[in-house]
Amino acid sequence: MTTHFNYPTPAVQEELRKIAAAIVAPGKGILAADESTGTIGQRFVKIGAENNEENRRLYRQLLFTADKALADNISGVILFHETLYHKDDNGTPFPKLLQDLGIIPGIKVDTGTVKLFGTEDEVTTQGSSTLNFLMWKNARSGSWDRPMTTGIHISLIRAGLLDICGTPSWAYHIILPDGDHDLEQAQKVAETVLAAVYKALNDHHVFLEGTLLKPSMVTAGQSCPKKYTPQEIAAATVTAFSRTVPAAVTGITFLSGGQSEEEATVNLDAINKFNGKKPWPLSFSFGRALQASVLKAWGGKPQNIKAAQNELLKRAKANGLAALGKYEQGSITGKAAGEGLFVKNHAY
């Protein structure tokens, strides 16, 4: 930690700020299509599609050619490494396809998680690369009784990555929903973890205005016997974030974390409707909650492509409204809207 360091040049600051702000423009958020080969394979199994490279290309092509209206609510797409090099049937590279729609392509920088030696269930990520924006994924733990001390300290080291990359970046912290902890405990863990994340980013002199935060919403554990309303979830989330996330951060884009599509949308909407201190746009960066209906409608069959694309447009619209606090529960239906998407010990 030093007090002798340089801020990025004004031109770099402006560029970073501009891209980060475009991603959280009003009513817009991110489509997280960065499932690793293994993870997308688990989703393909459910719809009876084979997990081969051509099917993965066809599926992502379906997403990225849905319609130009997709850009009304989707500002960016996170790609998996393999997808970065894929082309559509006409030979256009996927990143170009997205840029032509006015959507910013980004990349997940890690190459998967590794177990942290000497911890109970904690993992952290490895690897890096860059594009228009990049995502820095941090450690996580399935344990709610033991704060993730080791993972938190690793974050001090990982924060250096954002420091050296001249791209708008995302601090990404996952708190898994496994367990029976209640909402209050979830809020305490979120506050502890987020405070450590921003201490680490400060130690590395990260230009916060060029960053977004991608966190879990504060929700009780999957097996908690007590159920909470979207308003209670919103209160816990906004309170935790207002205590720990600096106002300089350009935006917060939540992951869906195993909530059903409708649940994730309703909770995001409640967060935006909640009357609290919220100096940043609060939007989405959903994977499962934007794709469950799409996958179900597609079923790996070419004749279903249009129907699947429609599902994506509907979910994007619903979440765009939720990012503005203007979604009405149940007003936009989906083929899998109510289905739980929780995966035990999910590996992102």
Interacting residues with ligand 13P (CB under 6 A): 32, 34, 78, 255-257, 286-289, 348
Residue nearest to ligand 13P (CB): 287
Nearer to ligand 13P, 205 or 319 (CB): 319
- CB nearer to ligand 13P: pick between 205 and 322: 322
d(CA 16, CA 133): 9
Q: Evaluate the CA torsion angle 295, 299, 300, 303 in order and state its sign.
A: negative
Q: Smallest gap, in angstroms, from Cβ of residue 172 to ligand 13P?
A: 7
Distance CA(139)–CA(122), nearest Å, equals 7
What is the amino acid identity at position 119?
Answer: T
Report which secondary-structure segment, H or E, holds 199. helix 183-203
Task: Name the residue among 131, 85, 75 with its Cα closest to residue 108.
Answer: 131
Look at residues 80, 59, 81, 99 and name the one whose alpha carbon lies nearest to residue 309.
Answer: 59
CB of 40 to ligand 13P, least distance (A): 11
Between 144 and 286, CB nearer to ligand 13P: 286
CB of 318 closer than 8 Å to CB of 338 = no
Q: Is 115 one of the annotated active-site residues of the chain? A: no
Catalytic residue among 214, 314, 317, 335: 214
User: What is the nearest approach in angstroms of ligand 13P to the Cβ of residue 139?
Assistant: 14
Give the residue with the Cβ less far from ligand 13P, 150 or 259.
Answer: 259
Min dist. Cβ of residue 184 to ligand 13P (A): 22
| Type of residue numbered 220 | A
Q: Strands 29-33 and 74-79: what pairing? A: parallel
**CB of residue 176 vs ligand 13P: minimum separation in angstroms?**
10
Rounded CA separation 154/293 (Å): 36
- CB nearer ligand 13P, residue 205 or residue 288: 288
Beta bridge mates, 212: 170, 251
Residues marked as catalytic: 214
